[in-house]
């Protein structure tokens, strides 16, 4: 048997992963070659990849500042994610437990995202080889929804945002990202296989579900702790915000890496892949994207800390403990 299982959605995630990997390489090369230091093209490039505190020292003209939007608008991403995934989960539950078909437009969109996926076996082609069981897909959709709710709560009630900004392109990309992510979850299931008996659904329970959910909870707890540590740097013990300055964070995973909340984000997506059984190509491409996306953000944060604080611990890696 030989098979090829690449869907249109896979190429989208691969392209995004490679784009951020390329951006990370360009960033590293620009630091090694001083001839690029005054490049206008490099300035535009860094304007697009930087946000928040890492953008403060970037020399930008008035024209580039026209495209700034407040970083605190991050919570818009999670509002979109919660609403969109609530809508998708509702239809998924109706399909899995009650046999109610998905809306035609959603089925057509899912088919369009998976229309390059084929398997060749004895001269026949089949696009169901990439599909995961309905219970696994429902689980990761619920976990993604819970993650979005938690991040929305943290943005609104825990994090303390200064006057940092993000580029309007980053803002629009963030909104589109969570729409695409929800569609990606749907695309990992076979809409035509919805329904089935309760016994069949119970038979879909396997060890990877417990492994993935356990890892998801563990990573989420640490991410919340690290974000709370960052917020508390600007608060008194009673929770009152007293400054907007940046300080050296300590505690939890900050003893090992500069951006543990980014590392936790990567672990959360790995946990979702494990919940799917650990073999789904599409979701590992999502993980690859998250790896390079968060690595780029972590590299910029590491650079910021080393420039701002002479006493910053040299032993801390940027993103992954003992590696990166």
- In 3D space, the residue among 182, 180, 150, 167 whose CA is nearest the CA of residue 264 turns out to be 150
CB-based burial of residue 101 (10 Å sphere; 0-12 exposed, 13-18 middle, 19+ buried)? middle
| E strand or H helix at 144 | helix 134-157
Helix H or strand E segment including 165: strand 165-167
pLDDT-based confidence at 121, cuts 50/70/90?
Answer: very low
Q: Please, is 250 exposed, middle or buried when counting C-beta atoms within 10 Å of its C-beta (0-12, 13-18, 19+)?
A: exposed
> What local confidence, expressed as pLDDT, does residue 131 receive?
57
Q: Is 255 a residue whose pLDDT tops 70?
A: yes
DSSP strand E in 205-306: where?
A: none
Tokens of 55: 């953008």
C-beta atoms surrounding 161 within 10 Å = 16
Whole-number average pLDDT of the chain? 85
Task: Tell whether the model's pLDDT for residue 197 goes beyond 60.
Answer: no
Six token digits for residue 288: 């690859």
Buried residues in 296-318 as b, exposed as e (16+ CB within 10 A):
bbbbbbbbbbeeeeeeeeeebbb
Confidence of residue 125 (pLDDT cuts 50, 70, 90): very low
Distances in Å between the Cα of 122 and the Cα atoms of 2, 22, 119, 125 are 9, 40, 10, 9
Residue 134 has pLDDT above 90, yes or no: no
Q: What is the pLDDT of residue 266?
A: 97
Distance, CA of 244 to CA of 234 (rounded, Å): 6
Contact 54, 301 (CB under 8 A): yes
4 Cβ contact list (under 8 Å, min separation 6): 118, 119, 120
Q: Sign of the CA dihedral 149, 276, 222, 242?
A: negative
What sign results for the dihedral spanned by CA atoms 175, 320, 261, 54?
negative
**From 1-15, 28-42, 72-86, 297-311, the region with the lowest mean pLDDT:** 28-42
Give the pLDDT confidence score for residue 201 in this predicted structure: 57
pLDDT at 229 > cutoff 50: yes
pLDDT at 202 over 70: no
Q: What is the mean pLDDT of residues 216-226?
A: 97
CA atoms of 53 and 144, how far apart (whole Å): 27
Alpha-carbon span 10 to 114, nearest angstrom: 8
Predicted pLDDT at 38: 59
């Amino acid at each position: 048997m030989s098979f090829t299982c690449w869907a249109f959605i896979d190429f989208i995630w691969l392209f995004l992963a490679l784009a951020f990997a390329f951006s990370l390489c360009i960033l590293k090369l620009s630091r090694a070659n001083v001839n690029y230091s005054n490049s206008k093209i490099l300035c535009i490039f860094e304007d697009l990849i930087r946000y928040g505190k890492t953008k403060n020292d970037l020399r930008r003209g008035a024209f580039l500042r026209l495209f700034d939007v407040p970083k605190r608008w991050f919570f818009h991403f999670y509002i979109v994610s919660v609403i969109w995934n609530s809508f998708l989960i509702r239809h998924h539950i109706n399909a899995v437990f009650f046999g109610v078909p998905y809306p035609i437009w959603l089925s057509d969109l899912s088919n369009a995202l998976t229309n390059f996926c084929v398997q060749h076996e004895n001269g026949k082609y089949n696009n169901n080889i990439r599909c995961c069981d309905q219970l696994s897909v429902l689980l990761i959709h619920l976990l993604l929804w819970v993650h979005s709710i938690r991040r929305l709560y943290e943005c609104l009630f825990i994090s303390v945002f200064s006057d940092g900004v993000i580029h309007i392109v980053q803002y629009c990309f963030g909104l589109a990202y969570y729409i695409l992510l929800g569609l990606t979850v749907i695309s990992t299931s076979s809409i035509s296989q919805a329904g089935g008996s309760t016994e069949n659904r119970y038979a879909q329970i396997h060890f990877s579900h417990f492994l993935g959910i356990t890892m998801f909870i563990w990573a989420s707890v640490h991410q919340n702790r690290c974000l709370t540590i960052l917020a508390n740097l600007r608060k008194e013990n009673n929770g009152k915000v007293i400054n907007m300055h940046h300080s050296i964070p300590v505690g939890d995973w900050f003893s090992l890496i500069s951006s543990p909340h980014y590392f936790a984000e990567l672990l959360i997506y790995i946990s979702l892949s494990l919940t799917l059984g650990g073999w789904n190509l599409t979701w590992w491409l999502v993980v690859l994207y998250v790896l390079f996306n968060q690595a780029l953000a972590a590299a910029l944060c590491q650079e910021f800390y080393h420039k701002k604080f002479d006493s910053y611990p040299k032993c801390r890696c940027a993103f992954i403990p003992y590696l990166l």
